Amino acid sequence: MTSMQNIQPLGETGPAISHLEIGTGHTDCHARFYPALYRLDLIRDEGEEKIDLGFSGSRLLERLLQAPGQVVPREELLAHAWSDRIVGPGSLNQQIYTLRQVLGDEKKREIIQTLPRRGYLFNPKFLTGQAAEPQPMEAPVTANAIPPFAAPMEHFSRPLAPWRFSLLTLGVGSMLALILVLALTWFYKLMFQTPVFSTEVQAGKAQIIYADSREDALQELVMDTRSLSQQVAELATRPAKLVLNLTAGFYEILCMQPDGGVNWLMVHRSQLAAVPNEHLKSCLN
C-alpha cells in the first residue's frame, strides 16, 4: 500500500493536497498525481503541464497505485473506475492506453504492465520520492455533486435545440448517459457558466458533433481532426453519433450506443494520426 506526499500551494493557507510522485517514460520528466483533483502534472525543467485525467482515468490510476507490483484484476479495475455504470472491457483498454500515452509508456509498457487474462499492475520502480502521511482534506467532488446544466447549449449563435431533440431518437437512456459524461468532462466550464457551441459533420454513416466553448475554435477543431473523421467514416458499419471536443490537449470522443450506453475514447493531440483502428471500432461498437 502506498502513501502520499502533501503539497501546499504558494500563497494558500488551506490544507495540503495529497499527491504521489511518479516516474514517466518522457525524457527528463516526472509526474505528480493528485487523486482528489483527478489530475496529473508533468514536471519538466521548462515548466509544468497539468492534465485532467477525468473521473474514471483518475480512479483507475489510483487503484493501480494502491498496490504497486501487485496484479489488479480487470473486474476490480472496472468496478473501481466505473462504479456508477456498467461498461465493457473496451472502455478499460482505452483508458489504460490513454494513461500510457500520458506517462509516455504506450510503446514500452513498462510503467503499467499487462498480465494476459489476469489484469494490470503498476511497476513500483516508477514510484519516486519519499512518501509522507496525508493530511485530512475535504472530500473530492463526485458526480452526484456536479450541478445541473445551467450553461446555454448553443449552435453557433442559436440554442442547440436540433441536437437536443435528435437525442430523443436514441432513447432517454442514451440522453441521460450523454449528460452524465458531458457533465464530468465540462465541469470546470459549467462552473463559470461558459456557453458551449457545436457544429455537425457527416462522416460516412457516422454523425460527428464537434463541441467547444469558443465559437471561433469550431472550424479549427473540424480541420485538425479531418484524418480522424475519415477514419471513422471507413470504420462505421452502421449509423452512429459521436461527440468530439478538445480538453487540456486531449481529444475526447463519446460514441453513443443504440442500447443507451456511451463508449468513451481519449486521445492526445500528438497521437491523433496514429489512433489504432481497434480502439475506434471498440468505441463505435
Domain membership of residue 139 (yes or no) is: no
User: pLDDT tens digits, residue range 2-14?
Assistant: 544 444 433 343 4
Q: What is the DSSP string of 166-201?
A: HGGGG-HHHHHHHHHHHHHHTHHHHHTT--EEEEEE
**What's this model's pTM, rounded to 2 decimal places?**
0.47
More confident site: 42 or 170: 42
Domain that holds residue 202: 146-284
Nearest of 189, 150, 44 to residue 104 by alpha carbon: 44
As beta bridge partners, residue 263 has 255
Containing 83, the helix (H) or strand (E) segment is none
Domain membership of residue 138 (yes or no) is: no
**Structural domains in the chain (count):** 2
- Is residue 282 pLDDT above 60, yes or no? yes
- Residue 61 is part of a domain; what is its CATH number? 1.10.10.10
**Whole-angstrom distance, CA of residue 163 vs CA of residue 199:** 10
Do 117 and 207 belong together in one domain? no
pLDDT of residue 194: 52
Do 156 and 265 belong together in one domain? yes
Do 32 and 91 belong together in one domain? yes
Domain membership of residue 12 (yes or no) is: yes
Do 79 and 192 belong together in one domain? no
Domain membership of residue 136 (yes or no) is: no
Do 275 and 166 belong together in one domain? yes
Listed range (4-13, 80-89, 237-246) with the worst mean pLDDT:
4-13
